[in-house]
Structure 1
């Protein structure tokens, strides 16, 4: 199909930005088109908040700036935000009853930076409660059009999960309900849902994107990033949302923003792609392995060289993560006590009783589980045995990557051991869900940039994602490798039926 004849929802961020800038279509027309699609596909349960009045007001302002010649690079392009980011004009619940109805007096820095470039907000997207989950099955607030909480449906098979915790973001992009979305990645929550839904997503180096206004889960791991259909679109969005925020985020890096699209078309000739043997052992499903192997052959055809590397402490990533992340969560979530903001129990006898009942009512099972784990490992007598040991191994995991990058430029492998599973299949076995993060956790613990791009199909025709991991501040190289692959293949252009 000629690009000029494409429907608006089939256009990516770069294409929409060019069309709107050339006044071939208005920001208002574009916003209305996507709002209509979001309303027509409420069964997918991607959105938890939509306000057409707010969205169209932003679109009219974008059209005015275009007419005045003061447009930003992404002027008028619509996108939606994961509900873990606070926003002034939409509710901010972090997927939890604890924050039901909460309205922030400010926008998260990531949201504000994108708005500065002209992005129009379509609404807020479903996520696991406080970003804790691998399937988006622990959301506790109703989706748009529903009176009860709904698990987002994978548009490739509505009986399957979309992945988590950024499942709503992945569904919205895959089903063409938004050209792009924000996500957050603590242990793989951008990469895994992107892989499950057949889209592209990138987590930058820890500290590249401000965490100010991101409802905290695990402060030393949480990182924002874009989810879109192509590496080119992710590069544009990442360029807009990254940059120092030193006055408001103590973990923000004092490193200037950069144009991550600057080297998208560089040759891959001589690029060394490391393949860790630990990512290809027992537990990796044959259908996923076949798609990854085919993708690596495509890279060889593009001039890259495949080299073996080792990440010997990969299997330790799960216990390390599930000590450190819950420990930080137990501290971060202590603020939700019914006193300052959020849910408060209606009936209680004293202050302690109010704390207990408020937190029992406001938090879901997965959040309570992680708070209890975190409190335990930080308690007297266990801190040294668990938390400190986990931090030491975390440093060793980072050292494994450092050693590997002396032999290669990028590391490649699967995002997850399998394609998306059936909704409810692992609901009663949280450990099984935790094990699905085995390939994404190491890069998160090391603070490295990582991304997922679609490279084929597995069981049931479900998408398979290839994970690329770069060295610190190597986002441009990651995006270059992904873009060149997408120029040679069409996996990122494929859309699920029925949307």
Structure 2
């Protein structure tokens, strides 16, 4: 077979079934690539012993004659936000230094039950707060793509930057990601891979370190739409340990990839034609629209009138929830604890521990969140943002009720930018990277980023499809058609 680490999940699954390859061989190929790609800084906790043990078990399962799940034997990278029993799970934060959970997140347990293999934990923005993977205690992740012949290191996007970089560089066959305001879809677009955020409640949040609990949702980051369908099915489940987990049947998403979208209606929101959007992004969007129309879909202009309030509402709600969730990190029970001076009491321990353990971006968001939840500003900011969120959700409900089956938009307002290029600027400029993605989280909808072309500098760009709630199968089918029509097969030139 081809270089084993470059296989898709679907190709590897078929090869494993035929006996052309073993899970141990796949796993060893990926482990070798990981060791050779240290400059990308994607993997931060390697687990080769666990990986090979799981791979051997998967091979035995495949040979045992039982009908093994599609993910059996597939080597994966796991974002450091997922708790993995006995393996460091730091959320890329110094405050969780040394923390090894005594339990497994529901999603990773679902994957291990399906026979998947854990290669290790992946880098990310600290507590998933960031759009460039520059806030991690492990250091920056590097995008395997480069601008033309330049050697400038580029961001892979965030917060799931390690996942995106690892998949794009073929260090693993796929990876888990989480998405609070675009943290799966934006890095997927920056690295030329596929990333889907399912409907809020489709995947359990239990055992996933919380950022903003009403927005967080996990999903797969893969080399193709078919792979996303296969992996998403394994990740989804109802979970009594997560009160927001929905008890709905999980369909066979792969079987829904028919490629037939004739008669379906695609909405193009006028509000996403924003001032200052690059001409290249507009052109890509128009090309994607033409592709779907050519495949038989009806294209209809729609209005989502409250879109302009999405970013301000998101950057009130998300920090508010973060300030509450991160209050548990105090140095008392686990993780980092500051050294105390003579006379220091518990208040000083809290203050010093949190000042040392949290990075600048996390501190910034905790302070914003604490401010908007304070007695004098709760109504002026937090409650107002919640009302705006309801209006944004109603906008989507209205267009779906009017017969729209999916919505097509750009995934990001730019291609990958250089590491450090935005670090010293106003943080609001970094927040603007989420302009096309945050509405999906605020409304709890499924959204997917599909690579659709290269910019003038040879960097990948993605288009986003937004679907109806709980209809990930239909959304994946739209994405499958777009992927097929776009014909994106480019890969980064190997320099690492």
Q: Which residue of 2 aligns with 1:146?
A: none
Asked whether 1:338 is paired with 2:343, we answer no
Q: State the partner residue of 2:453.
A: 456
- Structure 2 CA distance, aligned partners of 1:108 and 1:179? 20
CA distance in 1 between partners of 2:311 and 2:183 (Å): 14
| Structure 2: 5+ residue stretches without partners | 147-151
Superposed counterparts of 1:436-447, under 5 Å = 436-447=433-444
Report the Cα distance in structure 1 between the residues aligned to 2:491 and 2:454, rounded to whole angstroms: 12
1:207 equivalent among 201, 204, 214: 201
Residue 287 of structure 1 pairs with residue 280 of structure 2: yes
Shift of 1:490: 2.3
Q: Distance in 1 between matches of 2:449 and 2:493?
A: 22
Residue matched to 2:239: 245
* Equivalent position SS for 2:434: coil
Deviation of the 1:488 alpha carbon: 3.1
1:106 to 87, 103, 107: 103
CA contact (8 A) 2:251 2:473 kept: no
- Which residue number in structure 2 is paired with residue 229 of structure 1? 223
Pick aligned residue for 1:376 from 343, 358, 371: 371
> 1:63: how far off?
1.0
Q: CA deviation at 1:51?
A: 2.0
Q: What residue in structure 2 maps to residue 484 of structure 1?
A: 481
Displacement after TM superposition at 1:266 (Å)? 4.2
1:81-100 alignment, distance < 5 Å: 81-100=78-97
Counterpart pick for 1:397 among 370, 392, 405: 392
Does the 8 A contact of 1:283 with 1:417 survive in 2? no
Q: Which residue of 2 aligns with 1:42?
A: 38
Give per-residue Cα distances to partners, 1:406-435, cap 9 Å, x unaligned.
241100010111111111111122100111
Query: 1:153 is matched with which residue?
Result: 142
TM-score between both structures, scaled by the size of structure 1: 0.95
- Provide the C-alpha distance between the structure 2 equivalents of 1:360 and 1:489, rounded to a whole number of angstroms: 48
* Distance (Å, rounded) in 1 between the aligned partners of 2:391 and 2:32: 50
Give, in whole Å, the separation in 2 of the partners of 1:47 and 1:167: 11
Q: How far did 1:459 drift? A: 3.8
- SS of 2:461's equivalent in the other structure is strand
Q: Which runs of structure 1 show a deviation greater than 6 angstroms over 4 or more consecutive aligned residues?
A: none
1:58 aligns with 2:51: no
2:322 is the alignment partner of 1:329: yes
Distance 1:254 1:283 in 2: 43
CA contact (8 A) 1:288 1:419 kept: no
- Rounded Cα–Cα distance in structure 2 between residues aligned with 1:138 and 1:306: 40
8 Å CA contact retained: 1:206, 1:447:
yes
Provide the rounded CA distance (Å) in 2 between the counterparts of 1:74 and 1:21. Answer: 11
Match of 1:398, SS state, is helix
- Taking the aligned partners of 1:419 and 1:285, their CA distance within structure 2 comes to 10
Of 147, 172, 175, which residue of structure 1 is paired with 2:169? 175
Shift of 1:89: 4.1
What is the distance in 1 between the residues matched to 2:39 and 2:259?
41
When normalised by structure 2's length, the TM-score is 0.96
Give the count of matched residue pairs: 485
- Provide the residue aligned with 2:120 in structure 1: 123
Q: Which whole-Å CA distance do the structure 2 matches of 1:373 and 1:459 have between them?
A: 38
2:331–2:349 contact (8 Å) kept in structure 1: yes
Q: Conserved in 2, the CA contact under 8 Å of 1:72 and 1:116?
A: no
Tell me by how many angstroms 1:295 deviates.
Answer: 1.6
The answer on whether the counterparts of 2:259 and 2:480 sit within 8 Å (CA) in structure 1 is no
Per the alignment, residue 135 of structure 2 pairs with 138
Distance 1:459 1:39 in 2: 32
Aligned to 1:215, what secondary structure does the other structure show?
coil
Task: Report the alpha carbon displacement of residue 21 of structure 1 after superposing the two structures with TM.
Answer: 2.0
2:451 & 2:121 partners in 1: Cα distance?
Answer: 24
Indicate if the aligned counterparts of 2:453 and 2:486 stay in contact, CA closer than 8 A. no
